[in-house]
Amino acid sequence: MAIMTVTSSAAFLPVLERIAEEIGRTPGRGRPADYIPALAARDPRSFGMAVAEPDGTVYGVGEWRRPFSTQSITKVFTLALDLFREGDALWEHVGREPSGNPFNSLVQLEYENGIPRNPFINAGALVVTDRLQTRTGDAAGELLAFLRAESGNPDLDFDLEVAASETAHGDRNAALAHFMASYRNIDNPVPVLLDQYFRQCSVAASCADLALATTVLARHGVRADGTRLLTRSQAKQVNAVMLTCGTYDAAGEFAYRVGLPGKSGVGGGIIAVVPGRCALCVWSPGLDERGNSVAGVAALDRFTTLTGLSVF
């Protein structure tokens, strides 16, 4: 099969159109997350995909301007925001090894003394949000302001219905937070932390918004306004943790198929980065058993195969 060489920006669009057409012909799209009841009614046939370039040019296909529930995708941005605030001290409280376990697993926490394996499993993300909360007094607000600025979309907001739905079914995250608090790895009262974390996860944004926000990692840590969020080295580190941990116990398979740093969410979105070149976001709400969008992974697999763009 011939590679579709992307020599100019506009050449991304035919690639995206071909992927959307192929995905449209593919049956078997997985099932929307139902452990958060407000997400259960989404149509697994929905599909959108966007590519954003470092200069803010963005292309898309399908429902690429339709907001969806970002969920765990936000963990990338809270990690970057906390690294900006506290630097490497964060890594005394959370590791950076793949867990090989589901995103909401409890099992490693006890024998690893309340230090979560990485910032992208729920336990690790709770630690990051807790630390950002201590530093800002409003972790979710800090995240929302960042996403609005980077996407250029002032209308981005929390979906309080989704946040309330998760709060009502949040026993697993509450257990993780209380357990880590018993090891003194959580500073804030657990109800305060959970409120921040569930609102963080509830942010509704489109593929266009998230591809644009993710260009901070394609620009090696530089924000849309030209200021620096992360050092070049920190941006490399965040991309590396996305590659090894961003899709949980499927991270090996994702790296094998897609070959890019990526981060999924149970709303069906996935962001991915081609450092120096572009950022991507794909959305389709049907998930596999590990919580990753079936059509989303397939679309990113096709993108890197068709264009030859990957980190390898």
- Which parts of this chain interact with ligand DON (CB under 6 A)? 71-72, 103-104, 122, 166, 173, 201, 264-266, 291
Any known ligand binding at 248? yes
Q: Which of 46, 61, 75, 222 is catalytic?
A: 75
- Say if CB 149 and CB 209 are below 8 A apart: no
Identify the sign of the CA torsion 159, 218, 30, 168.
negative
Any known ligand binding at 59? no
Question: What is the CA 281 to chain-centroid distance, rounded?
Answer: 9
CB of 193 to ligand DON, least distance (A): 12
- In this structure, the number of other CB atoms found within 10 A of the CB of residue 8 comes to 7
- Say whether 197 is catalytic: yes
- Say if CB 235 and CB 243 are below 8 A apart: no
- Residue 44 vs 265, nearer CB to ligand DON: 265
- Residue 37 vs 54, nearer CB to ligand DON: 37
Enumerate residues 6+ apart whose C-beta is below 8 A from 8.
Answer: none
- Residue 59 vs 158, nearer CB to ligand DON: 158
- In this structure, the number of other CB atoms found within 10 A of the CB of residue 35 comes to 14
Q: Which of 61, 69, 94, 197 is catalytic?
A: 197
- In this structure, the number of other CB atoms found within 10 A of the CB of residue 56 comes to 12
Instruction: Report the distance separating Cα 27 and Cα 29, nearest Å.
Output: 6
Any known ligand binding at 173? yes
- Say whether 75 is catalytic: yes
With H, G, I as helix, E, B as strand and everything else as coil, classify residue 312: coil
Any known ligand binding at 310? no
CB of 58 to ligand DON, least distance (A): 23
Q: Helix H segments across the chain?
A: 12-24, 74-86, 107-111, 122-136, 139-151, 160-168, 171-182, 190-202, 207-218, 232-245, 251-257, 294-307
Query: Which is nearest to 96 in space by CA: 289, 274, 243, 290?
Result: 243
CB of 156 to ligand DON, least distance (A): 17
CB of 18 to ligand DON, least distance (A): 27
Q: Which amino acid is at 10?
A: A
- Residue 71 vs 118, nearer CB to ligand DON: 71
- Say whether 266 is catalytic: yes
User: Measured at CB, which residue is nearest to ligand DON?
Assistant: 72
Q: Which of 127, 248, 264, 284 is catalytic?
A: 248
CB of 172 to ligand DON, least distance (A): 7
- Say whether 111 is catalytic: no
Q: Which of 72, 202, 206, 293 is catalytic?
A: 72
- Say whether 248 is catalytic: yes
CB of 120 to ligand DON, least distance (A): 8
- Residue 123 vs 211, nearer CB to ligand DON: 123
Instruction: Report the distance separating Cα 54 and Cα 47, nearest Å.
Output: 24
- Say if CB 159 and CB 69 are below 8 A apart: yes
Any known ligand binding at 122? yes
- Residue 46 vs 71, nearer CB to ligand DON: 71
Q: Which of 266, 274, 294, 297 is catalytic?
A: 266
Positions marked active-site = 72, 75, 197, 248, 266
- Binding-site residues for substrate sit at 72, 122, 166, 173, 197, 248, 266
